[in-house]
Structure 1
């Protein structure tokens, strides 16, 4: 299952708070429709029925059912080089 670092969890919580996402909402990771092998991240008010909930802090992280296998051995972290909030997926240690 995808893991989420403390840095990524804090970034999701900050972004969700700024965007006014309800407490049952969070960050959703899904397969990119236009670019196979890529992922789309979006703040959502609630998970889709088939989403996997991978992190339950003050804000949640959801993974689309079709993306779960591809993300199973990865970790969601923040990108320190990004201008503003940015996330990276890296292999689990």
Structure 2
């Protein structure tokens, strides 16, 4: 199952709250397989077939193909000087 670092959990919560409002209880970050990689977007709720990964209040939704591809990875995040958030995947140890 996908593992979220503390930085990734914080970033997912921040993006969800900024986009959906601080009171969101169903929203999170959705990662879906695309032809040349993955699409990442804030979603109000998971799709019916999504795998939901939760950590410290952060919710990540993986579509079936993304779950098969990255389900055994670690998701990390970094914020740059402008406030932009970049996500990265690493192999699980």
- Relative to the length of structure 2, the TM-score reads 0.84
Please tell me the root mean square deviation across aligned C-alpha atoms, in Å.
1.8
Match of 1:47 in 2: 46
- The equivalent of 1:26 in structure 2 is 28
Give 1:56 shift: 4.5
Structure 1: gaps (5+ residues) = none
For this pair of structures, how many residues does the alignment match? Answer: 90
Structure 2 residues without counterparts, runs of 5 or longer: none
Instruction: Indicate conservation of the 8 Å contact 2:7/2:78, yes or no.
Output: no
Structure having the higher strand fraction is 2
1:56-71 matches, within 5 Å, as 56-71=55-70
Aligned residues of 1:29 and 1:62 also touching (Cα < 8 A): yes
Distance (Å, rounded) in 2 between the aligned partners of 1:49 and 1:72: 17
